[in-house]
Structures are given as structure tokens and as C-alpha cells.
Structure 1
Amino acid sequence: MPSVFPMKLGNDAVRLDGVRKVYGKGDSGVAALKGVTIGFPRGGFTAVMGPSGSGKSTFLHCAAGLDRPTSGSVILDDQDLSTLSETKLTKLRRDRVGFIFQAFNLLPALTVEENVTVPQMLAGRKADRAFVREVLASVGLADRRKHLPSELSGGQQQRVAIARALIAKPAVVFADEPTGALDTRTAADVLGLLKDTRQTVVMVTHDPVAASYADRVVFLADGRLVDEIYAPTAAVVAERMTHLGELVGV
């Protein structure tokens, strides 16, 4: 599927350098991230995996500007997030970041088209209707734009959420378990769609099959990046997950 979104190549859409995140203070403090350094190239699709408690959610929150690291830096779309005020950080997230979650978070009283344009409405901007229809067509919802969420299947609702994440032409899309509420066949459709957008996608998942759609899989354990795989297969990802404990501290 050809992409309707422009893509800049040659540098990272997001980069973390020495990111630490500690919750609490003193002896009671807990380090969720322990000096993470990694870049996400523009147009790449990266899956982030790890056992419960490995720091995946904290990693995503820091990378997306939803939480500030205790130390280290996050560069998102060429901006150092540590230098931004809360107001400017909120604007950056609204204008340059897309979010997709397991829960679709659609407004039940709004149509598909209205749900997709909510970010523009909140920003006080008029939506480009032609581009909205182009995006809806790219996610297979051209004939559903006037439907309410209750009139859609789960997979169609997640496609609306994807369209909403893409509508601002973000620098990066962060997806947190985006197929966790979908059946296997619908999940495959949604993952194929994410891959075909050619946007920069960073996806947290526990599912080796979902991770196999990515260009690269990185593994977190005990707050550290401990391994990565390029051109992954589900079998290789599953096998690597079983041995993550052996890599902690390497």
C-alpha cells in the first residue's frame, strides 16, 4: 500500500541517551530505567518487548514525552524534551506524536470522521477534509466515515484509532499493545496496516507474532536494553524471550 505520509530519512525520529527513571527517593527509590540509549530511525517499525516489570511502560512514557526522565535526554523530532515547558511539551505531543492503545478510546457520540479529527478540534484548527478522507481510505474506512463506533467491529474501531493517530502527520506513532483486544485475524490486519503506513512506529507488545511484523525488536529486562533482533520471526522472538533472564547484567 503506498503511503500518503511524507517520510524524512537519514536521522532518528526519537532518540534516548542514557535515560534513567527512578520512582521515589533515597533508599526507597526504584529504578525503572537504568541508562537506556537507543535511536528509532524515521520510517522504521520497532517492537519493544520484555517481561512484566522490565520497564516497557516507563520506556514508552519517557520516549513519548508523557513522563520526564530522572536523568539523560530524549530527543523527539529534533527537540530535546528536557528543554521544553509543560505547555510546549503538550503542544509537541499533540502536533508531532500519535498514540494508539489497546483500548480504542473513541468518543461514542461522534462519527468515525469526527473521532479522527478530534486532535485538530482540540487544537483549534480546522481539519483538512480531503486529507481526512485520504487517511480513512488508507485504513480501509472510506465507506464508514459517518458510522458511530457502536456500529463498527473491534478491528474497525482500532483502524479509527490508527487514523486518528496519523491525521496530524506525526513524527512518530507510539503503540501500546494495540492488538491486545483483537482476535488473531483482525490483529494481523491491523499490524499489516501499521507496517504499510511507513510511519515511524514504536510498539510495546508481549506477543511474538505481533513483534514479527516489525523491522526490529528490542528487548528490555530489569530496566536495561539487553538484546535486539532485525527482520524478526515469531519463533526467534519467542525463543529470545525465554532467555532474557540470562542477559540481565550483560
Structure 2
Amino acid sequence: MTAPVRLDAVRKTYGSGAAAVTALAGVSVVFPAGRVTAVMGPSGSGKSTLLHCAAGLDLPTAGTVTLVGREIGGLNETQLTELRRDHVSFVFQSYNLMPALTVWDNTVLPSLLAGREPDRAWATEVLRRVGLGDKAGRRPAELSGGQQQRVAIARALASRSVVTFADEPTGALDSQTALDVLALLREVAAAGQTVIMVTHDPVAASYADTVLFIVDGQLAGRMDAPDADAVAARLAHLGARARQAVS
């Protein structure tokens, strides 16, 4: 079975000439179905660029990205938009909620845009699990930042997409809500989804099946069945290595 997300020798360079910055330097990685994969590394290591290229939000300078069976380099913008709409969900740090819509309407919006009838029972359950069961009629302006992030998470998970990309999904959450969200990500992965999560938090990473470490745009190792202490130790080592490289 083909993995829902695959990167082959992906390079991403911003700028040109002497001012060029290489954010990804030939990354090859497969993200299988039914698993949560965390991506970690020092600041500026290329984590977000990897996520954006894998999701088709940014096109690689070289190499290929295959998303849900389609090589995205051969798609025009309309085809790429439709592919993401039909099969991909996102949790952005900026939330990207529709201010005029209620929490409920924001949550089911991706399904409606894809022409599908929302699974109302599942959407209700997801809102309950992220602690917003009593806020379905509120609008984003009536919510705290942490509550808005929970709406963004509920929106991503309610549509049961093939792939969910999450950029620091627990960053604005209290510790108990964060653990509830992480457990929910594991649950949807166990049901067959692919979850790819960028995080700086070793505890969040410990909920993943696999952690990929990235330094200077290159993969620098992986850890299966991670625990928080081992992840923190590996991050500290990689951070020290990165500091030595620039000193």
C-alpha cells in the first residue's frame, strides 16, 4: 500500500545567489497511514518547511512530493486545492477561523466545502473531547486563544481526512487539554489516518509513534516508541551540535 505522504530528495531553497538559504537539503521520508509522526529539531532547522512542502502549501525547489497518491509537482493550483480540500486537514498556529461563523459551523466547514454531509455525531464528539461541547454557538471573537486553537483542532479532525498536518497543535493549550488533544490524534491515527505533527514539546512527541529529528534541513535520526525524557535528551544533543556548527 502506498504511503499517503512521501518526499523523495526534496530540496527547498529561498532566495538566490549569495543570499540563498537552503531550508531543506535533500530530504527523503515516508509518512505511513495509521501513525502519528512528530517532526522536531532546533529553531530554524526546517521543520515548518518540511510540513509545508509535504502538504503542498509550498513547492520544493527539487525532488518530488507525493500526497494521497498524487505527485503534486504535476498539478495546477486548482487541482492542488481540490486535493487538499478532499483529503487533507490542517491545524495552523494562526488558527484561520472564519470570524462570522459559529464554533459548530467552523468545525463542519471543510466537509461542506468538499461537498460532503458532515458526520454530525463525530463532530459533536470531537468538540466535546476538546472541551468545547458547550461553546458550539459561540463565535471566535468570544473565545480565548486556547479555545480558538481547540476549534482549529476540532475542524481538522471532524472531517476524517486521509492526512492531518498539525503545526504546534498544543502550543496554546493548558496541560490537560493538550493531553486530551494528543490522545485524540492517536485515536484518529489508529483508525487509519496519517497524522504529521511539528512540535517542540517532548511530552507531545511522546504521543507519536515515531519522532523524526531534523537539523539544518536534513534528517538527523528517528526514534520509534518515544518517551519524553529520551526525546528531550536527543533534542538537547542536537541543539548543542547545531550551536557548535555555527560557532
What is the distance in 2 between the residues matched to 1:85 and 1:46?
Answer: 28
Paired residue total: 237
Whichever residue aligns with residue 114 of structure 1, its letter is: D
In the aligned structure 2, how far is the partner of 1:15 from the partner of 1:211?
21
Structure 1 range deviating more: 19-28 or 107-116: 107-116
Q: Call closer, same or farther: CA 1:25–1:231 in 2, change over 3 Å.
A: same
Q: 1:16 touches 1:38 (CA, 8 Å); kept in 2? A: yes
Cα shift at 1:142: 5.2
The CA deviation string for residues 214-234 of structure 1, in whole angstroms up to 9 with x for no partner, is 000000000000110001011
Partner Cα separation in structure 2 for residue 107 and residue 138 of structure 1: 19
Q: Offset of 1:28 from its aligned partner?
A: 2.3
> Contact between 2:153 and 2:169, CA under 8 Å: does it hold in 1?
no
Cross-structure match for 1:212: 206
SS in 1 for 2:4: strand
Q: Percent identity?
A: 57
Aligned residue number for residue 195 of structure 2: 201
The answer to whether the aligner puts 1:50 opposite 2:41 as a matched pair is yes
Q: Where in structure 1 are there 5+ consecutive unaligned residues? A: 1-9
1:159-178 to structure 2, matched below 5 A, reads 159-178=150-169
2:216 alignment partner in structure 1: 222
Q: More helix per residue: 1 or 2?
A: 2
Alpha-carbon shift at residue 53 of structure 1 (Å)? 1.0
1:107 Cα shift? 2.7
The CA RMSD measured in Å over matched residues stands at 2.3
2:105 aligned to which of 104, 108, 114: 114
Counterpart of 1:236? Answer: 230
In the alignment, structure 2 segments of 5+ residues that lack a partner are none
Rounded to whole Å, the distance in 2 between the matches of 1:12 and 1:51 is 27
Which of the numbers 7, 32, 43 marks the counterpart of 1:41?
Answer: 32
Partner secondary structure for residue 42 of structure 2: coil
- Give the structure 1 partner of residue 59 of structure 2: 68
1:162 Cα offset (Å): 2.3
Q: TM-score, normalised by structure 1?
A: 0.86
**What is the alpha-carbon distance in structure 2 between the residues aligned to residue 21 and residue 175 of structure 1?**
20
Q: TM-score, normalised by structure 2?
A: 0.87
2:15 pairs with 1:27: no
Q: Please say if residues 113 and 132 of structure 1, whose CA atoms lie closer than 8 Å, have aligned partners that are also in contact.
A: no
Runs (4 or more) in structure 1 with deviation over 6 Å come to none
